[in-house]
Amino acid sequence: MPRAGDPQQTTRACVQSPSVHRRRGENPPVTLERHSPALPGRAVIEQRWNRAVFVHWRVDPADVAPLLPPGTRPDVHDGSAWVGLVPFVLSEFRFLPLPPVPLVGTFTEINVRTYAVDDAGRRGVVFRTLEAEHLAPVLAARALFGLPYRWARAGVRTDGARIEYRSRRHGGRHPGTRLRARLGTDPVDTPLSRFLTARWGFHERHLGRTIWAANTHEPWPLVTAELEALDDDLVADSGFPQLVGRTPDSVLAMPAGHPGFRTRFSAAHAIG
């Protein structure tokens, strides 16, 4: 984590989720479907997602483009690309049709992400880092998909409507994050919320090829949220130092007490 008094390495913010206004003269944004399409093939991985918080910033698409896999381009909403810091709890991980992996199949994950679209119109997530607290799934995801998983000390605490995530990466460099949010009760379903969450797959560069892996799950249940504290250097370490000290443009979350939902992934295939 950053040293005290080093403002160039630390993001601290306290913000309520604001509305985001469309700039004049721009076309209305495309509204993504809340419901996932059918998987293009047999499901090979299943997991449960819960306690997600979505913290997002606008960025210039030109800042995102060099970080994307070949064959994809920045996906844009309201004239901006978007960068997210997204912590959640992943549980009941399993390779189908096997049962959930014992002991290491449940863990806290904190990812930094942006969004891309390919020439076939597939709109997906591009992960810049995925911090996870168990080493086995980190190694498996890196081997199978080339995903930039990193092993980290990570955890989550809840207290009623408050939720707090912490992580610090193992190894030579130690970027990390501490995020505390108060979850609201007002449901959210807007073009922006769908753009940021209704993502039915991810793009990645793996073994010299750009791949696409599709997923399916029920629509995200989202509510307003207030970001009470953020002490983070994962976002800057992931290629976005311009976001240091900037107030997020959107804060959303799953409702307190929500049981989460199962997510299934099909096998990845090369697109370029």
Q: Which of 142, 272, 165, 170 is nearest to 228 (CA)?
A: 165
Instruction: Work out the pLDDT band at 173, boundaries 50, 70, 90.
Output: confident
**Average pLDDT of the chain?**
89
In the chain the domains, ranked by start, together with CATH numbers, are: 47-270 (2.40.400.10)
Instruction: Work out the pLDDT band at 56, boundaries 50, 70, 90.
Output: very high
Q: For residue 117, what is the enclosing H or E element?
A: strand 107-118
What mean pLDDT is predicted for residues 256-264?
A: 96
Instruction: Work out the pLDDT band at 29, boundaries 50, 70, 90.
Output: low
**Nearest 5 degrees, angle CA 53-CA 147-CA 216?**
60
CA atoms within 13 A on the CB side of 31: 6
pLDDT of residue 3: 38
The DSSP symbol for 195 reads: H
The span from the CA of 271 to the CA of 73, in Å, is 13
pLDDT of residue 220: 97
Give 9's contacts (C-beta < 8 A, 6+ positions apart).
2, 3, 233, 236, 244
- Residue 22 tokens read as 């469309």
pLDDT of residue 28: 45
Q: Would you say residue 79 has pLDDT above 70? A: yes
More confident residue, 100 or 166: 166
Instruction: Work out the pLDDT band at 7, boundaries 50, 70, 90.
Output: very low
- For the range 140-147, what are the long-range contacts, defined as Cβ-Cβ under 8 Å and sequence gap of 24 or more? 144/268, 145/202, 145/204, 145/206, 145/211, 145/213, 145/268, 146/204, 146/205, 146/206, 146/207, 146/211, 147/202, 147/204
Q: Would you say residue 109 has pLDDT above 80? A: yes
What mean pLDDT is predicted for residues 23-35?
A: 61
Instruction: Work out the pLDDT band at 181, boundaries 50, 70, 90.
Output: very high
Q: Would you say residue 39 has pLDDT above 50? A: yes
The string of pLDDT tens digits covering residues 190-238 is 999 999 999 999 999 999 999 999 999 999 999 999 999 999 999 999 9
Q: How far is CA 197 from CA 8, 47, 155, 256, 270, in A?
A: 29, 17, 22, 18, 23
Place of tokens 């953020």: 230
The span from the CA of 127 to the CA of 67, in Å, is 10
The span from the CA of 228 to the CA of 242, in Å, is 21
